Structure formats: structure tokens, C-alpha cells
Amino acid sequence: MQLSLITMRLGVSLSFAIGVTQAEYIIQDSYNATNFFNEFNFFSDKDPTDGFVAYSNAASANSSQLAGYLDQGVYLGVDSTTVDPAGGRGSTRVESKKTYTHGLFISDIAHMPESTCGVWPAMWTVGGDWPANGEIDIIEGVNTDTTDTITLHTSPGCNMESTGSIATSTLSTTDCNAGPATAGCSLTTKSPFGTGFNAAGGGVYAMEWTSATIKVWHFTRDAIPADITAENPNPNTWGPPVAAFSGSGCSIDSHFQKHQIVINTTFCGQWAGRVWDNDETCSKLAPTCDAYVAANPQAFESAFWQINSVKVYQANMAGGAAKRAQPFSG
């Protein structure tokens, strides 16, 4: 696998959405191999989820080829050579320099970390004051998971319904309070994650965030809507989302504010490590998740992200400026 080093460049397409009934989306930011590493920071502090991981800074990730370019995409990988790494297995976590409140976020992904014992990859958005500013987990799973789990995390006082989600998605709880177990409100989906996603040639995940709802769609590589390819996305034509969170029990604007886009791969920790004993495949490999990850670097050769683009769009009222009511005459 030929991997070019970071030259510190970047490009993305992202877009915001105001909670309006009729909206057209205009591209605001586009992140890809031309500008990605200029527009995202590397997080190198201790893992907040207590993972067996050592996140690399930009210089280290570049020199050790944990980050760079692969087949014209952005590459974010992990250490797959070191046995018993002190302090955790080397990995990458990047966070957008810009923050967003509302938007249509469209991520074209060629490859995500495989469904491998010990891994916990995620693509998500999060506010600076957690959990008060909220968290939206768009792509997430652990160990041998083959389907995506989509989760919202908030401070107390946010209860969501999943009305409008595709029938095959299952809501775990309506209470999105992060709480002591940091569970949030999760939708278990049938959308491919990890190995199955990669086998299908990757695809697109799209997240729409407005004042009224938070929705997520998944499209396989051969079924990406033409309007996404044309950078003129219209979610109203995409059919039911795999996840749709809404309801009168939560003020989205009060609980979700100023989010960064985050992409990372950690190991074990509060999720992959916590459920290790319950995974029939993984629990046979080692007594603990940490022990397995430390001793088996070769297992993580395919634990990498290859990202074609992340695009953010901003919502405009259809037909131009928003219309305002005229005063009535008495």
C-alpha cells in the first residue's frame, strides 16, 4: 500500500441547515486531500473514553505514516507494527478547526476500519462543552460490529423520538442524557459498518441537522443520489433516513451547538473494552481487550480511514431570501 506523506493541505464540502420547511443547500466547506490537513487539528491528549490508545500529533502522524494520502483520498491509520506499545497503540484523531450549528454534512468514505476485535472507530460531531453542547455520532461501532450505531448525547432534558426512521432501525431509549454510563439515545441500524461497508466499495453517510430534526442517511457506492454527486443535494428526495431524531421532548437548538467534525480510531476503552467479555469471538482471543490490542499489531493493518471528501452545506430558503409577514391594517 503506497501512502504519501502529509504536505499539510485540505479540501471539504459541508453545509448548514436552518430548520426550514423548504430549503436549498449551498456548499459552504469542502474537505478533501487538497486541504484536509490544513483545516483539521490533530488531537494528541489522553483519550477521553479511556482507550488503550496514544493519539499522535501532526508531526508524529506524518513521520510514522499514520496520516497522509492514499489513492487521492485522506488516510488516517493506526500503528500496526509495534508489540506492547507503552501507553497504548498509536492512532489518529482529527477535529475540524471550524465549528457548525446546523448543516448538511455529507461524507464520501472509501474505507473505514475493519470490524476487528479491539477497535472503536467513529465519525461524529461534538460541541466544546460536553455534554451541554451535545454530540452526534454518525458512524460508530466496536469490535466485530457489522452495522452502524447512530447516537445522540446531551445534558439532561432531551428526549427524542425516532419517527420517520427506516423501519429496520431500532431506538434503544428516548432519553439522550449522556448520564453516568454515557449511553445517550442510540439507533441500531442495518447500515453496513466496517468490513461489510468496505466490501461494498464504501459509500456515503449524510447527516442533516436543523432546529427541528437530526437525520442520517446511508448510500452504497452504486446508489449515491445524483444530486449529491452534482453538489446540489436535496434530502427531500432521498427517501426515509436510517435515523431520524425529533420530538417535542427536546429543544435541539438548546442541546446541540457549535460542533466540530471529529474522525478517530481508538481501542478498547469504555465501549469496546467494556463489552469484550460479551463478544464470543473476541473474548476467546485474550482475557482482556487491552492485552489483545497490545500483543497483536498485525490485526490492525486494515484499521484505517480513507476519506474521499467531507462536505458541509448551508441551507437557504427556496427562492432566495426568507419572506417576512406584512403588518395588518386595523
Catalytic residue annotation: 135, 140
- Partners of 175 in beta bridges: 159
Neighbours of 241 (CB within 10 A): 25
Bond prior to 131 in cis (omega within 30° of 0): yes
Three state DSSP letters for the chain: CCCEECCCCCCCEEECCCCCCCEEEEEEEEECCCCHHHHEEECCCCCCCCCCEEECCHHHHHHCCCEEEECCEEEECCCCCCCCCCCCEEECEEEECCCECCEEEEEEEEECCCCCCCEEEEEEEEECCCCCCCEEEEEECCCCCCEEEEEEEECCCCECECCCCCCCCEECCCECECCCCCCCEEEEEEEECCHHHHHCCCEEEEEEECCCCEEEEEEEHHHCCHHHHCCCCCHHHCCCCCEEEECCCCCHHHHCCCEEEEEEEEECHHHHHCCHHHCCCHHHCCCCHHHHHHHCHHHHCCCCEEEEEEEEEEEEECCCCCCCCCCCCC
